[in-house]
Amino acid sequence: MGAFFGAFFLLLATGVPIALALGVGGMIHLYMSGNGAIVLAFPQRMMAGVDQFILLTIPLFLLAGMLMNVGGITDRIVVFARAMVGHRKGGMSSVTVLSSGFFAGISGSATAEASALGSILIPAMRKQGMPPAYAAALVGVSSIMGPIIPPSITMIIYGVLSGTSIGQLFIAGVGPGLLLAAGLLIYAGWRARRDGFPVTPKMRWAERRQATIRTLPALVLPLIIVVGIKAGVFTPTEAAAVAVAYALVVGFAYRDLTLRRVWESLVAATLVSSSILFITAMASIVAFVFTLEQVPTTIASAVLSVSENPIVVLIMLNLALLVLGMFLEPISILILTMPILLQFNKIIAMDPVQFGMMVVLNVVIGMATPPVGILLFIVCAASGQPLTDVAKESVPLIGICLLVLFLVAAVPAVSLFLPHAMLPMR
């Protein structure tokens, strides 16, 4: 394992894409351990890693996000959020958090959210005189709500890998999602007051009503998805395709969508999805190498030799996931750690849905932590701000996310209240 991590970090530090750092690290590790012949099996593992029906949610949700962006849905959400909170303390920064929350309800992916909202909201906040690095950090960290508020690619993948009900995971995400939104709103308000950020003029009621009506079609998507899955119209995987169809319908109804824009979105979604799935393929190689050498068993027994106290195991597990989250993206972490995670939960004995919620929140927080944080990269590119400044501004925001993580881990009702209220049978 040492050879792998040595090679991986060295490659990562020299600017090698994370996917290739994983693959090359796996190869070097095998040659060093005298199992070089197994490299022959890599192409098969790469393919097997992406040969899974659920992974179709990745290009599909990316596409849905892009279509909403070019189809005018994103703009309308921002206008709607402005009508609701733009005049309150926090101004555009509160609008950002609220827009993220709404966008999360129609998008399954944090990256889609950060790229869609970053290009609109960062300039808007800047115009109000907020420091650009803070604006970027707020968009980046708020995007964490994307995979927490349903629908969510990360939850679908967690559900399938672990055998947890995806419908229940989706509903369980609502509570923590609202907590995230509340926490970020409070911070944005406090920060605005401290630094004297201006507010936007209050809209008249007629304007507010109009903004609501114009945005309503976009806002019912999460309802369609949850109800559609529960009523057996489609599977969670197919829900991603339904989201695309819905984005198309709404986009054409808003008259913002053109065939040309649809085509460009199809191409762009494929290319972005390719880069994500390539990481998945490479993570599968590493998972394969580790399994062959029975690393999960070794790690599990090492942890358990430190302590078998459930609380201690729980804390160690969260710390380990947060550290992994600094360097890897959510799907790779889930692929690599799932065998160990399930073993640990036998000791922690948490409800599987709450446990899933905790793990998912944990790994998506990693998307906004340096050095490898795709959300930070996206907002840096969108704002032209250096990574170090944006990372600094995101520290207190990440702190809020960690607080929510703590609540999710410590208070079962945060995740389980809604699923139990809605699905009492299990």
Q: Which of residues 130-149 bind other proteins (CB under 8 A)?
A: none
Question: Whose CA is closest to 155, among 420, 424, 426, 415?
Answer: 415
Q: Smallest distance from the beta carbon of 36 to other proteins, in angstroms?
A: 10
Q: Could you tell me which stretch among 5-13, 322-330, 346-354, 380-388 binds Na ion (CB under 5 A)?
A: 322-330
Paired tokens of 251: 């986009």
CA atoms within 13 A on the CB side of 47: 4
- Rule CB under 8 A: say whether 315 interacts with other proteins: no
- Rule CB under 8 A: say whether 100 interacts with other proteins: no
- Using DSSP, state whether 377 is helix, strand or coil: helix
- Rule CB under 5 A: say whether 330 interacts with Na ion: no
Contact string 195-234 vs other proteins (x = CB under 8 A): ----------------------------------xxxxxx
For 146, residues 6+ apart whose C-beta sits below 8 A from its C-beta are 100, 103, 104, 107, 108, 109, 110, 112, 113, 114, 152, 364
- Using DSSP, state whether 1 is helix, strand or coil: coil
- Under rule CB under 8 A, how many of the chain's residues touch other proteins? 89
Residue 366: contacted member of Na ion, other proteins, none (CB under 5 to 8 Å, by partner type): Na ion
Integer distance in angstroms from the first to the last C-alpha of the chain? 41
* Cis check: omega of the bond before 396, within 30 degrees of 0: no
For other proteins, the binding residues in 253-282 under the rule CB under 8 A are: 263-264, 266-275, 277-281
Contact string 317-356 vs other proteins (x = CB under 8 A): ------------x---------x-----------------
Among 249, 326, 403, 413, binds Na ion (CB under 5 A): 326
Residue 360: contacted member of other proteins, Na ion, none (CB under 5 to 8 Å, by partner type): none
**Cα(11)–Cα(17) distance, integer angstroms:** 8
For Na ion, the binding residues in 91-110 under the rule CB under 5 A are: 104
Among 18, 317, 397, 418, binds other proteins (CB under 8 A): 18
Residue 369: contacted member of Na ion, other proteins, none (CB under 5 to 8 Å, by partner type): Na ion
Paired tokens of 259: 């065939």
- Rule CB under 5 A: say whether 369 interacts with Na ion: yes
Q: Could you tell me which stretch among 54-62, 92-100, 126-134, 358-366 binds other proteins (CB under 8 A)?
A: 54-62
Whichever of 39 and 304 has its CB closer to other proteins, that residue is: 39
- Rule CB under 5 A: say whether 373 interacts with Na ion: yes
Whichever of 189 and 330 has its CB closer to Na ion, that residue is: 330
- Rule CB under 5 A: say whether 90 interacts with Na ion: no
**Cα(332)–Cα(281) distance, integer angstroms:** 9
Contact 286, 42 (CB under 8 A): no
Q: Which amino acid is residue 294, in one-letter code?
A: Q
Residue 270: contacted member of other proteins, Na ion, none (CB under 5 to 8 Å, by partner type): other proteins
Whichever of 104 and 378 has its CB closer to Na ion, that residue is: 104
**Cα(299)–Cα(293) distance, integer angstroms:** 11
Q: Which amino acid is residue 185, in one-letter code?
A: L
Among 115, 152, 394, 415, binds other proteins (CB under 8 A): 115
Paired tokens of 73: 């849905």
- State which H helix or E strand residue 415 sits in: helix 412-422
23: left (phi over 0), alpha (psi -120 to 50) or beta: alpha
- Rule CB under 5 A: say whether 366 interacts with Na ion: yes
Contact string 134-153 vs Na ion (x = CB under 5 A): ------------x--x--x-
- Rule CB under 8 A: say whether 301 interacts with other proteins: no
Whichever of 356 and 373 has its CB closer to Na ion, that residue is: 373
- Using DSSP, state whether 123 is helix, strand or coil: helix
Residue 426: contacted member of other proteins, Na ion, none (CB under 5 to 8 Å, by partner type): other proteins
Q: Smallest distance from the beta carbon of 243 to Na ion, in angstroms?
A: 10
Contact 250, 73 (CB under 8 A): yes
**Cα(2)–Cα(302) distance, integer angstroms:** 16
- Rule CB under 8 A: say whether 50 interacts with other proteins: yes
Residue 40: contacted member of other proteins, Na ion, none (CB under 5 to 8 Å, by partner type): other proteins
- Under rule CB under 5 A, how many of the chain's residues touch Na ion? 9
Question: Whose CA is closest to 219, among 102, 65, 373?
Answer: 102
337: left (phi over 0), alpha (psi -120 to 50) or beta: alpha
Distance of CA 229 to the CA centre of its chain: 21
**Cα(183)–Cα(207) distance, integer angstroms:** 28
* Residues at the contact surface with Na ion, assessed by CB under 5 A: 104, 146, 149, 152, 326, 366, 369, 372-373
